[in-house]
Amino acid sequence: MNGSTRILCVDFGSTFTKAALVDVTVGSLVATGSHRTTIGTDLMEALDVLRTDLAKATGDEPTWPVRACSSAGGGLRIAVVGNERLVTVEAGERVATSSGGRVVHVAAGVLDSAAVTELAAAAPDLVLLVGGTDGGNTAVLRANARALAAAAPTSTAPVVVAGNAVCGAEVARVLTDAGVAAVVTDNVLPRIGVVCPDPARAAIRDMFVRHVIGGKHLSRREEFARIVVGATPDLVLRGVEVLARARGVPGVVVVDVGGATTDVHSVVEPDPEDAGLGREVVATLPVSRTVEGDLGLRWNAPEIVRAAVKARLLDETDEAGGKPYAAELTAEAERRKEDPGFVAMTQEEVDIDVRLAELAVKLALRRHAGRSQVVTGPAGPTVDRAGKDLREVGLLVGSGGLLRHVDPELARKVAATGLAGAGGHGRLLPERPDLAVDRDYVLAAVGLLAPDHPDAAAALAARLASAVRP
């Protein structure tokens, strides 16, 4: 087989490194593999093993071109700095999260010395500096740029400037003159109610590749920095966009249950009929992602139980539906937190993991979805909606290590059980979606291939879209 038609797509994860060999002429999956991430030595060691294994399986020479994404070493940590907490900072936070980053710090208003110290203590990999609509207030954006520049070079991460276009270039010069890596892009909130995420997402992706990947010292090899093109969540979200187009349904939601977080990615076209409903100051993004840092099956397993009890999804004392008591589940969750490398071997251990995953899915979907409520005003009762309306979503995809390794029907059951009963209190959750499981972890590969091989990416996505159950 001519290896030149094949591209190796790699995701360096926090626990496992996954690889998918794709024939880009037809968009077919040739072979897949995974290996525990070699975070303690050099990340490329895991890729070496995968290359060797895939070469044996295919008979190819392991010289395929490689495209990779990474969430190893803690992924991409972003701090958002802006004007008002409920306007420009909120817009920046939504954009940062959809860009594949985990928001570790948020600051609103003019940064004083204490605020700069607090920001530095959060140890962000990148700062998203926003503030003001185009033509609006520039004072806070200018002041915050000066504060970040004064803290350079020891305590200021690279900065993406995505605020008021009137002074964007000037703000970037203040930072670069102080030795801070900075790039200016379009305003994330050009006017009230309008969020412009794509230019900032692209700038964050570029900054991640040029400044963050190398700074984490995950590999000594030059090849690592050359093959990584973005943060894993960003590339997966791009893959979800391709999947939504391939599926041809009103929308797609992907729930990725991991060891440290549970992520929800969604692509939903706005409903023009919602124009008469309550509006948000910061518009909801059609393409978005939320990261639930307290819902990991290993690192944060006890928090899943606590959050489920608080949300009344799990009773502290009574057994419900034959499931374990909350106390018993908490003990097992603590065991997993103490040993994040824990692998379920017995059926009882698998059952505990499945129960934790069901709760994580339910909680993450609740947090991602919007809400509706009836508000009585002078003109009588009206429906007020806030957040993302997922009711008409046609496809719900489960992803993550547990869902890939258990029986396919059990994996679908986790997704279905996680969705069932997740509504209530007006949550706008999917009502009748088809279910699929990304067992071969193709969404990352789809995102990696989409820019240069769109037909191959679409074919891969269509393969996943066809593997559904009602």
What is the pLDDT tens value at each position of the chain, 470 positions in all? 444 699 999 999 877 899 999 999 999 999 999 998 888 899 999 999 999 999 999 999 999 999 999 888 777 889 999 998 888 888 888 888 877 778 889 999 999 999 999 999 999 999 999 999 999 989 999 999 999 999 987 667 999 999 999 999 999 999 999 999 999 999 999 988 788 888 999 999 889 888 888 777 889 999 998 999 988 888 999 999 999 988 876 789 999 998 878 889 999 876 555 444 444 555 667 888 888 878 889 888 999 999 998 888 876 554 445 555 678 899 999 999 998 878 889 999 999 999 999 999 999 999 888 876 555 556 655 555 567 888 889 899 998 888 887 887 888 888 888 777 655 567 888 888 888 889 888 999 999 999 999 999 999 998 887 766 55
**34 near 468, Cβ under 8 Å?**
no
Q: What is the pLDDT of residue 276?
A: 40
- Listed in sequence order, the residues at least 6 apart from 178 whose beta carbon sits closer than 8 Å to its beta carbon are 148, 149, 150, 152, 153, 156
Domain termination site, one of 64, 83, 106: 64
Two tokens, residue 73: 């070493």
Going by the DSSP 8-state scheme, the letter that residue 445 receives in this structure is: H
Residues 282 and 245 in one domain: yes
Q: What is the pLDDT of residue 343?
A: 84
Q: What is the pLDDT of residue 382?
A: 53
Domains contained in the chain, number? 4
Number of helices (H), then strands (E), in the chain: 16, 17
Residues 388 and 313 in one domain: no
Provide the 10 A C-beta neighbour count for residue 454: 14
Q: What is the pLDDT of residue 378?
A: 63
The range of the structural domain enclosing residue 317 comes to 301-355
Rounded to 5°, angle at Cα 277 from 273 and 281: 115
* 187 within domain boundaries: yes
Residues 373 and 392 in one domain: yes
What is the biggest distance separating any 2 CA atoms in the chain, rounded to whole angstroms?
A: 74
* 363 within domain boundaries: no
Amino acid, single-letter form, for residue 421: G
Residues 291 and 379 in one domain: yes
Sheet harboring 395-399: ordered strands across?
Answer: 287-292, 262-268, 251-257, 395-399, 434-437
Residues 266 and 374 in one domain: yes
Q: What is the pLDDT of residue 320?
A: 47
Two tokens, residue 229: 């093109």
Q: What is the pLDDT of residue 318?
A: 46
**185 near 200, Cβ under 8 Å?**
yes
Query: Is the bond into 153 cis (omega within 30 degrees of 0)?
Result: yes
Residues 201 and 127 in one domain: yes
Kindly list the distances between the CA atom of residue 244 and the CA atoms of 81, 238, 272, 459, in Å, as whole numbers in the listed order: 32, 10, 19, 12
**290 near 367, Cβ under 8 Å?**
yes
Residues 183 and 136 in one domain: yes
| Residues 458, 461, 465, 467, CA torsion sign | positive
